[in-house]
Amino acid sequence: MPKNFVSNNNETLRMFKSNFLEVFSKVHWTVPLILFVPVVLYYLYQAIFVWHLSFLLIIGLFIAGQVSWTIAEYIIHRFIFHYQPTSKFGQKLHFIFHGVHHDYPRDSLRLVMPPILSIPLAFFFYYSFVPFMGPSILAPFFAGYVTGYLVYDIGHYAIHHFNMHGKIMLAIKNHHMRHHYQEPTKGYGVSSPIWDIIIRTNFKGKNNMSQETIEPEVELEQEV
């Protein structure tokens, strides 16, 4: 099987002829924080000062929201981002949404989700939960859900651009690196490998990849 093209340089591929569309395809990694940290704070404020929920209930629902995000993350990555369409139009869409990331995994401007996608998805998920939860329960749950998304999005940037230390952080980084450089049909969890382990899409055998063997020609920029 021929090796797919992979660039390990922090270079950006032009994706659209239109300058207008091209602008919306590039996002600085701080943008999700600017957009969604206020959302998290707003719903925590609602839970505490409007709905007067107990501390333990808020913590429990917040954690439940985070865990729920990891399920959505796994499903989106596996079944949407890695869906292989047969039509030329479908293949172009697939490349725009995720294929470009596998070809240019260190492109710092295409590592977090563009607001043109993340904002509609936030509304979609929120109103998907409404029929199953009252507003008081939904407030801390959704705050946790959005926090889970931020951990995923900012963590994804960190995996590709930060030097990581510590057993857990290195394990998460190497899990995602194996997805990129060894087996793209496994390891769909980005912020956590838990669902890969449970659903058995985890990698087999010991992880023998080091940071040096993954990205030999580039120097990582920051330390965590």
Confidence of residue 216 (pLDDT cuts 50, 70, 90): very low
pLDDT in tens, 59-101: 999 999 999 999 999 999 999 999 999 999 999 899 988 999 9
pLDDT value of position 223: 45
**Does residue 173 or residue 206 have the better pLDDT?**
173
Alpha helices in the chain (DSSP H): 19-24, 31-45, 55-75, 88-94, 100-103, 115-129, 135-161, 167-181, 194-199, 211-214
Residues 6+ apart with CB under 8 A from 127: none
The Cα 12–Cα 182 span in angstroms is 23
Mean pLDDT, to the nearest integer, of 160-174?
91
* Strand partners for 70: none
Q: Return the domain boundaries, the chain.
A: 19-171
Question: Per-residue pLDDT tens for 175-204?
Answer: 999 999 999 999 999 999 999 999 999 998
pLDDT at 131 over 70: yes
Each residue's pLDDT tens digit, 16-56: 889 988 998 999 999 999 999 999 999 999 999 999 999 99
Taking only the tens place, the pLDDT of each residue in 147-165 is 999 999 999 999 999 988 8
Q: Helices 167-181 & 135-161, crossing angle to 10 degrees?
A: 70
pLDDT of residue 212: 42
pLDDT of residue 145: 98
pLDDT of residue 5: 66
